[in-house]
Amino acid sequence: MTNQNLVVHDVKSCINTIVEMAVSISNLPMLTSTEVPESLVVLDGIFGKKILKRIDDGGGKGGAKVNAWIDSMRASSPTRTKSSLPVSQDQHLSSWAIHHPSAINMFDQIINKSKDKQIIIFLDYDGTLSPIVADPDKAFMTKKMRATVKDIAKHFPTAIVSGRRRDKVYKFVRLAELYYAGSHGMDIKGPTKSQGSKKGNQAAPFQPASQFLPMINEVYKILLEKTKCVEGAKVENNKFCLSVHFRCVDEKSWGALAEQVRLVLNQYPKLKLTEGRKVLEIRPTIKWDKGKALEFLLRSLGFANSKDVFPIYIGDDRTDEDAFKVLRRRGQGAGILVSKVAKETEASYTLQDPSEVEQFLRRLVDWKRGSNESGRRVE
Ligand SMILES: O=P(O)(O)OC[C@H]1O[C@H](O[C@H]2O[C@H](CO)[C@@H](O)[C@H](O)[C@H]2O)[C@H](O)[C@@H](O)[C@@H]1O
């Protein structure tokens, strides 16, 4: 195939994609690529106002779904900060802040609640340990954060619970002494090196969605093909789930991109969708999430029904809410939401951004070191 052929092939497949989408929105009979009506090709950009308007008008049940996903993604990653909010929203924010105080300001209260209990630390990755960046492959944590997480793991059992695939999040964190729950908890593995010992943990990972692997790979390939015409769109294979990224896509094309995702998902009733920070996440319909992963890890650590445990879970995304809910239900520990803006949450406390997360974790390390030393002095 020559380069020219490749280009023609790509253009044709893009046109096909647009046509499929238009057909789905307008319920027109399916056309072949040679029958594409002028009005669909000469749109305002590839996904122009006409198609978007149909989605805004509702576009039937599908349109409503797409609009709901987009609203939810916007709510997960709001761009406004306190100062730019209208007064009524500003008041709302201050009352929210009263109900969800800073975990740094409430540090002593948190420590008092954990008295005589085993603290266990659960950390989300993106937006919690690393700042949100445009390129998901460049979401690195700072050296300072890594050193602090390393110190945290010396004093408390520590787990990373991420939507990312486990091997990818491990490459970012590179600490063998941690537990890792990748793919929203659908891939869990214990430390490969415990503190003070060089012995590795060879236990097989816990993977409750392993039978979905072929389906996820199939959908990944389809989505790559269907979204390649949308400038800035990115599909990430997280092994047991997929992420379709909207961050670098012009907002005018969000509806069209979400519609593509909906069309593909329609063919796979065993998959479902959740919304994150400018991302749509596709995953198996099994009843498993970050909350279940938290419970699984507590059980594995011997704290299934124990009152002697104090789990601290820190996360910034909607998917972390499942873990916050578990803590509320158990009436245990502390859920901490990382957010600068008011959001509906089951978390009890807040931290503004990853740098505050680092400060909070560092205080925990210092407190633990101090209490170990005073314990030794009393002996
Ligand atoms: O559970 P998490 O560890 O928070 O993972 C959730 C998703 O995080 C990543 O996407 C988010 O961070 C990116 C890098 O900062 C950003 O570009 C994107 O807009 C965010 O949604 C990750 O790439 C996804 O696969 C995860 O599902």
Give residue 304 CA to ligand 1 midpoint distance, Å: 30
DSSP string spanning 297-336? HHHHTT-SS-SSEEEEEEE-SGGGHHHHHHHHHHT-SEEE
How does DSSP assign 49-63, residue by residue?
HHHHHHHHTT-HHHH
Strands 309-315 and 242-245: unpaired
Find the DSSP H helices in the chain: 3-26, 38-41, 49-56, 60-76, 87-99, 107-113, 143-155, 166-173, 213-227, 254-266, 290-300, 321-330, 354-378
Provide, rounded to the nearest whole percent, the portion of the chain with pLDDT above 70: 77
Look at residue 353 and tell me whether its pLDDT is greater than 70.
yes
Cα–Cα distance for residue pair 157/126, rounded to 1 Å: 20
**Pocket lining: 356 vs ligand 1, CB cutoff 6 Å:** no
Confidence of residue 51 (pLDDT cuts 50, 70, 90): very low
**94 Cβ contact list (under 8 Å, min separation 6):** none
Distance 114 CA to ligand 1 centre (A): 31
* Residue 115, helix vs strand vs coil: coil
Q: Which atom of ligand 1 lies nearest, measured to the CA of 238?
A: 25
pLDDT of amino acid 13? 62
Hey, how many other C-beta atoms are within 10 angstroms of the C-beta on 58? Answer: 13
pLDDT at 92: 72
CA distances from 331 to 226, 299, 347 (A): 45, 16, 12
Ligand 1 centre to CA of 137 (Å) is 9
Determine the distance separating the centroid of ligand 1 and the alpha carbon of 283, expressed in angstroms.
15
> Ligand 1: does its nearest atom lie under 6 Å from the Cβ of 245?
yes
Q: Label residue 199 by pLDDT band (50, 70, 90).
A: low
Binned at pLDDT 50, 70 and 90, residue 18 comes out as low
Q: Is 290 in the pocket of ligand 1 (CB under 6 A)?
A: no
- The C-alpha atoms of residue 360 and residue 111 are separated, in whole angstroms, by 12
% of the chain residues with pLDDT over 90: 67
124 is catalytic: yes
What is the rounded distance in angstroms from the CA atom of residue 336 to the CA atom of residue 102?
9
* Closest atom of ligand 1 to CA, residue 276: 21
Q: Determine the pLDDT at residue 203.
A: 81
| Confidence band, pLDDT 50/70/90 cuts, at residue 39 | very low
Average pLDDT, rounded, for the chain: 84
**Bridge pairing between strands 242-245 and 271-276:** unpaired
If one compares 238 and 202, the residue with the highest pLDDT of the two is 238
Distance 57 CA to ligand 1 centre (A): 30
CA distances from 55 to 43, 174, 256, 282 (A): 15, 44, 8, 21
Asked if residue 323 lies in contact with residue 161, where contact means CB atoms within 8 angstroms, the answer is: yes
Whose alpha carbon is nearest atom 23 of ligand 1?
A: 136
* Annotated active-site residue in 124, 126, 151, 316: 124
Name the residue of 126, 132, 243, 251 whose CB sits within 8 Å of the most ligand 1 atoms, as the mutation to test its pocket: 126
Determine the atom of ligand 1 nearest the C-alpha atom of 279. Answer: 21
From the alpha carbon of 281, which atom of ligand 1 is closest?
Answer: 27
Q: How many residues does the chain have?
A: 379
How buried is residue 362: exposed, middle or buried, by Cβ count under 10 Å (0-12/13-18/19+)?
middle
Q: Could you tell me the pTM of the whole model?
A: 0.83
Q: Name the closest-CA residue to atom 7, ligand 1.
A: 163
Over residues 53-75, the pLDDT tens digits come to 334 444 566 788 898 888 888 77
Atom of ligand 1 nearest to the CA of 169: 3
